[in-house]
Structure 1
Amino acid sequence: MRVSRPATPQYAWGLGYLLLAATALGWGLNFPILKLGLENSPPLLFTSLRMALGTVTMFLIAAAMGILRWPARGDWPVLFSVGVLQNMAFISLVTLGLQFLPAGRAAILAYTTPIWVVPAAALFLGERFTRPRAIGVGLGMTGLLVVLNPLSLGWDNPDVLLGAGLIMLGTLVWTAGLIHVRRHHWHGEVLALIPWQLLMSVLILTPIALLVEDPGEIIWDTTFLWPLLFSGTVASGLCVAAQVAAIRSLPAVSLSLSSASVPAVGLLSAAWFLGEQPSQTDIVGFVLIAAGILVVGLADRRQAVRSRAAAASESSPS
């Protein structure tokens, strides 16, 4: 009897890459736009309002798709960790750090997260730390050192060090959340759970923001409202939905390409909106970090192909 092999997965390349490009564009543009918004609002209050808009947007998207459900009991732990770590803590720390750094440089530092995931997954999940992954991490860490070197960053300025430290802390917190996500067995539709994650982060962050910041400092004019609307509805809402859809449509290496593209958009849009001039070290560091992310993505794809092949051979009759 002839046994047919599983067909190679077919991806909706056109739609997937369109969504991926829209996501990279939206998240990259958000860095200079967010910096403009912070000129008229304290950072935590801005973040709370932004995430509230994102929550409303995601609830509307889930309802329109007919997938809005009350989360299963088994998903509540990861809803809490994602809501607190990847949403509230990461976005708040990046926003706080953005006050002290150029928007383009902040984008580079914030999107080093794929580099941190590799050693964390090896340490906590037992994933193999292969040579290609080690090369990717090495490239990323070298790029990070280039960006953070004392000659370009200005270590004599404590505000700059604080800004870089806050963003790097945010990437580590985000990585911790991802490790929990990878260990979790989902009971519900991922897209349907995102509104609840955002809502949880808003409910926790809002009292903190009101406690430590003064709402009277917000200047309610168009220079505050349009950055808030963009950061809330587009960056925290539509881009999140597009990213989830792209994950279904494309292989993992394409998502690594997206992670490398966001800082590039951030650098270019910061030069356009804010007149920032990226330094040579910023550009070199970005190229090295982007190369590291792509190498890690290729290594992950290679490992996934091998795993599927091994699973197929084990399931085939001898």
Structure 2
Amino acid sequence: MSCTATNAPFPFRHTTTSWVWLSVMVLLWGFSWPATQVALTAISPLWLATFRFGSAAICLFAFLAVRGEISLPKRGDLPIVLSIGLLQMMTFTGLGMIAMTRTDTSHSVLLAYTTPLWTVALAWIALRTRPSRAQALALATGLAGVAVICSPLETDWAAPGAFMGAGFLVMAAIAWSVVILHVRRHAWVSSPLSLAPWQMLLATLPLAGLALAFEGTPHAIDWTPKLMELLVFIGPIATSACFVISAEHGRRISTYAMSNFTLGVPLVGIAGSVLFLGNILSGIFLTGLGLVFGGMILAARSSKSR
């Protein structure tokens, strides 16, 4: 999820508290990836995405109602509501969950979080923003890692759906990158938190329609206690609660620090896939991981002065 707010100085005690909450957010976001992989064994991907954002939207509407802060999006914020709702939430999550039925968690989370690399590439191609030397190095390093992970040495292209899985994850990352560029240039009228439930609702409705069209009605789902626990974790906790943490505490540190801090999400996701799902990380994957993560760090550092 992305959230933009004006940074302002806060007392040291408040900033320290924010680091604690943001650490919790990174852990929850990271562990939501293996949780999603487990949930996908019991529920189809588009219905899972629908339940995720539907439940998260309900929780955020309730949270804002208690605070007396529910309001319709202002006209000036409609473009960002559409962008985040349809590209980041619907497209990124929908494609990502479909891809996760074709590939393991460690590969999924790493390819999905290559967004900083595609942001540099899209700014160069679409906005004619020539990358600095550091950004060009970041892009080359990260894409070399993607090439390693997607090479026949690491990915079995003969496996059913392997090409679709990798392709959908890259497309999802590019869709999120478009939103990142939009967020950087958007003049916010309302706070990101007040717009979030509307964006989630906007993502939920077409996801439900697509799920009905391609996956049928959800009557065959076995609503076990384990599945319900996973849905609560993926939706209300790892989506709505983490968005509140991001909105409330992300503004208390610099945007640069926030960008670097959230790089921990894919690392937590990969670690979770090893701990909870038994994923085995090959030497080739670790090499690609090092290159991709190095490129992401370089991309984040190079954006500090731009």
TM-score (norm 2): 0.90
Residue 265 of structure 1 corresponds to which residue in structure 2?
A: 268
**1:126 offset after TM fit, Å?**
4.5
Whether the 8 Å contact between 2:153 and 2:284 is mirrored in structure 1 is no
Match of 2:231 among 224, 228, 231: 228
Residue 207 of structure 1 corresponds to which residue in structure 2?
A: 209
Going from structure 1 to structure 2, the CA distance change for 1:124 and 1:182 (only over 3 Å counts) comes to farther
Going from structure 1 to structure 2, the CA distance change for 1:243 and 1:139 (only over 3 Å counts) comes to farther
Matched, 1:277 2:280: yes
Match of 2:170 among 168, 171, 179: 168
**1:128 offset after TM fit, Å?**
4.5
Residue 103 of structure 1 corresponds to which residue in structure 2?
A: 105
Going from structure 1 to structure 2, the CA distance change for 1:220 and 1:63 (only over 3 Å counts) comes to same
| Partner Cα distance (2:241, 2:294) in 1 | 27
**1:75 offset after TM fit, Å?**
1.3
Paired residues for 1:130-141 under 5 Å: 130-141=132-143
Going from structure 1 to structure 2, the CA distance change for 1:65 and 1:119 (only over 3 Å counts) comes to farther
**What letter is aligned with 2:213?**
L
Whether the 8 Å contact between 1:36 and 1:223 is mirrored in structure 2 is no
Residue 58 of structure 1 corresponds to which residue in structure 2?
A: 60
Residue 292 of structure 1 corresponds to which residue in structure 2?
A: 295
Residues paired across the two proteins, number: 296
**1:170 offset after TM fit, Å?**
0.8
Residue 41 of structure 1 corresponds to which residue in structure 2?
A: 43
Name which of structure 1's ranges 103-112 and 119-128 shifts more when overlaid on structure 2.
Answer: 119-128
Whether the 8 Å contact between 1:28 and 1:266 is mirrored in structure 2 is yes
Match of 1:120 among 122, 125, 130: 122
**1:111 offset after TM fit, Å?**
0.5
**What letter is aligned with 1:123?**
I
State the SS of the aligned residue for 2:189: coil
State the SS of the aligned residue for 1:88: helix
| Residue identity (%) | 29
Match of 1:190 among 165, 171, 192: 192
Name which of structure 1's ranges 145-154 and 121-130 shifts more when overlaid on structure 2.
Answer: 121-130
Whether the 8 Å contact between 1:252 and 1:300 is mirrored in structure 2 is no
Residue 311 of structure 1 corresponds to which residue in structure 2?
A: none
Residue 22 of structure 2 corresponds to which residue in structure 1?
A: 20
State the SS of the aligned residue for 2:188: coil
Residue 240 of structure 1 corresponds to which residue in structure 2?
A: 243
State the SS of the aligned residue for 2:135: helix
Q: CA RMSD in A?
A: 1.9
| Partner Cα distance (1:69, 1:9) in 2 | 25
Name which of structure 1's ranges 256-265 and 50-59 shifts more when overlaid on structure 2.
Answer: 256-265
| Partner Cα distance (1:66, 1:281) in 2 | 52
| Partner Cα distance (1:249, 1:295) in 2 | 23
Paired residues for 1:49-88 under 5 Å: 49-88=51-90
**1:302 offset after TM fit, Å?**
2.9
Deviations 1:191-229 (CA, angstroms, capped at 9, x unpaired): 100111001111221122122213123111023111111
Going from structure 1 to structure 2, the CA distance change for 1:252 and 1:43 (only over 3 Å counts) comes to same
**What letter is aligned with 1:102?**
D
Matched, 1:92 2:118: no
Quick check: which has more Rg, 1 or 2? 1
Any unmatched runs of 5+ in structure 2?
1-6
Going from structure 1 to structure 2, the CA distance change for 1:264 and 1:225 (only over 3 Å counts) comes to same
**What letter is aligned with 1:172?**
I
Going from structure 1 to structure 2, the CA distance change for 1:33 and 1:130 (only over 3 Å counts) comes to same
Going from structure 1 to structure 2, the CA distance change for 1:180 and 1:257 (only over 3 Å counts) comes to closer
**1:278 offset after TM fit, Å?**
1.5
Whether the 8 Å contact between 2:36 and 2:230 is mirrored in structure 1 is yes
Name which of structure 1's ranges 279-288 and 164-173 shifts more when overlaid on structure 2.
Answer: 279-288
